[in-house]
Amino acid sequence: MSQPLSILQCNDVTVEFDGFKAIQGMSLTLAKGELRFLIGPNGAGKTTMLDVICGKVRPSTGQVTFNGDIDITRKKEHQIAELGIGRKFQAPSIFPSMTVLENLEIALRQRRGVFATLFARLQAEEQKRMKRQLEMIGLADQEDSRAGGLSHGEKQWLEIGMMLLQEPDILLLDEPVAGMTDKETDKTGELLQEIARERSIVVVEHDMEFVRSFASKVTVMHEGKLLKEGTMEDVQRDDRVAEVYLGK
């Protein structure tokens, strides 16, 4: 059987902060359409790995390749975003005084190029895309609500919707269900599954119950290194993982 096409490859990445090695020789390959969880104890280097991929942090050694042959190791954050890698941080970056629909419109215009379209009307096709996006993130009946008044979960979904309108090939999410109710967490799980039909996703996650609800591959990091990769069942069976992470 042929290998699935990879959309992202991190090879032997090392990151140093003032001589401290936060990442040491970490490699990770993400397939097209894959939903991957990145787990590990606090300080393992998970967030730094996302920072490397999106260009926020430069590795001291190693290489990051996107879509087969695009070397993004030394590219700037905005260049990487334009190539199609979107990063979402824990705190949502939405415009609270604007409505849900206006927030989505801003994201859409960013994709099209702010200057060219600041005053232009959205075309019918774009209006349709926004409506579809609203449905997908479950906020169709709140399009005219002020974004600042949404619940915590709804704000997270709105931001994911804004990211999606920019059509990234890869979404990098940092603890997307942190602070969510059980119901919101379930809904977020469904949303991620739906997104992964078209795009690849890397999720840094602490909520093990949430991770267990997917059949996805899990990458376990510890002290800046790859400790184990496999299904949640595989990694849970690994003694080293139990020792450093699950506390067994």
Q: Which residues bind ligand ADP (CB under 6 A)?
A: 17, 22, 40, 42-48
Min. distance of Cβ 239 from ligand ADP in angstroms? 21
Q: How far is the CB of 15 from ligand ADP (least distance, A)?
A: 8
Let me know how long the chain is.
248
Toward ligand ADP, which CB reaches closer, 57 or 130? 57
The string over 69-106, giving b where at least 16 C-beta atoms fall within 10 Å of a residue's C-beta and e elsewhere, is: eeebbebeeeebbebbbbbbeeebebeeeebbbebbbe
Judged by beta carbon, residue 44 or residue 173, the one nearer ligand ADP is: 44
CA 70 to CA 216: how far, in whole Å?
Answer: 26
Work out how close the CB of 45 gets to ligand ADP at its nearest, in angstroms, rounded to a whole number. 4
Closer residue to ligand ADP, CB minimum distance, 45 or 86:
45
- Name which of 142 and 219 has its Cβ closer to ligand ADP: 219
Q: Which is nearer to ligand ADP, 44 or 163 (CB)?
A: 44
Q: Quick one: tokens of 18?
A: 């003032």
Nearest approach, Cβ of residue 228 and ligand ADP (Å): 15
